[in-house]
Amino acid sequence: MVKSLSEKIISNHLVEGRDKPWEQIGLRIDHTLTQDATGTIAYLEFEAMGVARVKTELSLSFVDHNILQNDFRNPDDHKYLQGVAAKYGIVFSRPGNGICHQVYLERFARPGYTLLGSDSHTPTAGGTGMLAIGAGGLDVAAAMAGEPFYLERQNVMGIKLTRTLPPFSSAKDVILGVIGRLGVKGGVNKVLEYHGPGVKALSVPERGTIANMGTETGATTSVFPSDNVTRSFLKAQEREQHWIDLKADEGFSYEENLEVNLGEVEPLIALPHSPDKVRKVSEVEGTALDQVCIGSCTNSSLRDLRIAAELLKGKRINDGVSLTISPGSRQVLENLIDSGDLLHLVKAGARIIESACGPCIGTGQAPSTDGVSLRTFNRNFEGRSGTQSAKVYLGSIETAVASAIQGEITDPRKLGKYPKIVLPEKVNVNDNMFIFPSKTPSSTRIVKGPNIKPLPSFPSMPKTLRGEVLLKVGDNVSTDDILPGGSTILPLRSNIPEISKFTFNYLDPEFAQRSLDKGGGFIVGGENYGQGSSREHAALAPKFLGVKAIIAKSFARIHFANLINFGIAPLIFTKKEDYSNLSHGDALEMEMKDLDTNICLRDSTKEVQIPVKLRLNDRQKEVLNAGGKLNFIRAKQRRR
């Protein structure tokens, strides 16, 4: 039987269930990664499971989000994370070592392996032929404890690449084009599998860019073949021994197909405030800019920044523009220094900021009031930049450089001759910023600062849910909308009582207090509720405030799983038109005795009944009934 590349990896890691359409399967996870914005809670959850040592082949803890040390809170979290890593067998990547996905791609990605990360852009590693999936922190903690990772059997969409990219068109333009065609929910419960003769024309960093932003379609992951290009990349990283040849079987027929002629790809740009609002750069030229930011896990590789350096060589950025560049890793920065490329960036007027997520997560470099910012990042949700009134565009390295020089959105093809760069056959490798696990874990002391609060405990699911509609929102509400990031809120990630006060802070500043005053209740949502970041705090904080169920037209994959993990019922309207029948303040009641598929929701305010669905398998029902996954795992361990 012929198989796709992703099906081969799934088959090799299948430990539970059958690999059949719409069935839940359990996968063995080889590697895990966490980052500090999600990691503190994930490791508190892991500690609560009572496991003496991680059971994965490799687990890594990165510090790349909460790097600003304005007070004790972030450094306290970092100290806690380092102590946990030493005690439980986890590799710790120190602050400044780089963005988790870029560093992992360089130093740890392995074709044919599985990776589960507590960050939605974990699929970046799919650029090397891995099955790399983003998930909530509790799912990652469970994988470290030896539990399988569960998900629905995925549809595999084949994306065939032909020919090669023309000058000034890039991998970023390829994926923006795919997102424009699929939309922000067109990839839900799908693996985007790239194949075809055009694949060999893309370097691993370029493949990583495409795999990274596949997340913006709602896809579970994206994956490229492991070929001689992959081999050369691993050889340059002194890891050629990790290479295997891996691709789809000849003659495999994909369930869905998309074709991209690379030779016809033009420079593209995503308009505010969604990655799928894609237009040609030539159509929006002339839009004045205040800021250009180059970096993020999408476009901060050595390849990306060497292109930026060559294009900026001998140039000067526009007086009206602030240009920042954040190298994706310390390795990228060191190689830019050695090659002399960093000098070109600095001389042009760029501000070099730390190798970290920074502006992408709203930590630093917030635009001015009503400011216009062009970024090489992956998301441009309203307010994510740290300035609610800002307008953020997403584009390629080439478009960003051309626009920074001109002071307005500019088609990069106007820059003249495209520079030719040759990546080194061997990069400078320096692993000094990694701390490997202690050989005497019993002597390791874990320090918890005053901002690190105990995990809240939640009761099992009651037989009847009652309460008011606390909030009604529209389509594509993101986890940034539910619980914003930024330098004010991110330091509270290890303090659920405090961070919960910011739930829906931008959409409805009174939500948190109202929810507490009412003893909890319900949220009504539209399509694709919970898109974006994997942050489980967007489920955990509402649960702490008493939210009992979310009733929506549809859910994003990771957030749907996070809601179940924390004991919030994710209910789906049987008839989408019933969404309009519920209003803020309506008193609702529903029976949850057996967690039936079909549930009758009674609105006593309007005196109507509304049918809703609870699409869960038996294991998910057990988790929800237990009051969440942590309760479920503890009970499971007691039975052993």
Taken in order of first residue, the domains within the chain and their CATH numbers are: 5-264 (3.30.499.10), 271-414 (3.30.499.10), 464-639 (3.20.19.10)
Say if CB 14 and CB 150 are below 8 A apart: no
Mean pLDDT of all residues in 397-423? 96
Is the confidence at residue 637, as pLDDT, over 80? no
pLDDT band at 441 (very low <50, low <70, confident <90, very high): confident
Is the confidence at residue 358, as pLDDT, over 90? yes
pLDDT band at 439 (very low <50, low <70, confident <90, very high): confident
- Looking at every residue in the chain, the average pLDDT score rounds to 96
Mean pLDDT of all residues in 432-439? 93
Consecutive H or E run containing 550: strand 547-552
Q: Which amino acid is at 273?
A: H
pLDDT band at 593 (very low <50, low <70, confident <90, very high): confident
Look at residue 153 in the predicted model and tell me its pLDDT: 81
Look at residue 230 in the predicted model and tell me its pLDDT: 98
Alpha helix stretches (DSSP H) within 15-153: 36-48, 73-88, 100-107, 137-144
Consecutive H or E run containing 333: helix 330-339
pLDDT band at 605 (very low <50, low <70, confident <90, very high): very high
Is the confidence at residue 346, as pLDDT, over 90? yes
Measured CA to CA in angstroms, residue 112 lies from 327, 441, 548 at distances of 28, 31, 40
Percent of the chain scored above 70 by pLDDT?
A: 99
Is the confidence at residue 327, as pLDDT, over 60? yes
Q: How far apart are CA 449 and CA 451, in angstroms?
A: 6
Which strands sit side by side in the sheet containing 256-261, from one edge to the other?
221-223, 190-195, 155-162, 256-261
154-184 per-position pLDDT tens digit: 899 999 999 999 999 999 999 999 999 999 9
Say if CB 461 and CB 569 are below 8 A apart: yes
pLDDT band at 638 (very low <50, low <70, confident <90, very high): confident
Q: How far apart are the first and last CA of the chain?
A: 38
Look at residue 518 in the predicted model and tell me its pLDDT: 97
Look at residue 172 in the predicted model and tell me its pLDDT: 98
Backbone angles phi, psi at 357, to 5 degrees: -70, -45
122-163 per-position pLDDT tens digit: 999 999 999 999 999 999 999 999 999 999 888 999 999 999
Is the confidence at residue 612, as pLDDT, over 90? yes
Mean pLDDT of all residues in 601-605? 97
Instruction: Provide the sign of the torsion angle of the four alpha carbons 362, 365, 370, 375, taken in this order.
Output: negative
182-222 per-position pLDDT tens digit: 999 999 999 999 999 999 999 999 999 999 999 999 999 99
Mean pLDDT of all residues in 339-343? 97
Look at residue 21 in the predicted model and tell me its pLDDT: 53
pLDDT band at 442 (very low <50, low <70, confident <90, very high): confident
Mean pLDDT of all residues in 493-511? 96
Look at residue 640 in the predicted model and tell me its pLDDT: 66
Mean pLDDT of all residues in 497-523? 97
183: left (phi over 0), alpha (psi -120 to 50) or beta: left
Is the confidence at residue 65, as pLDDT, over 90? yes
Q: How far apart are CA 557 and CA 341, in angstroms?
A: 41
What's the gap between Cα 576 and its chain centre? 28
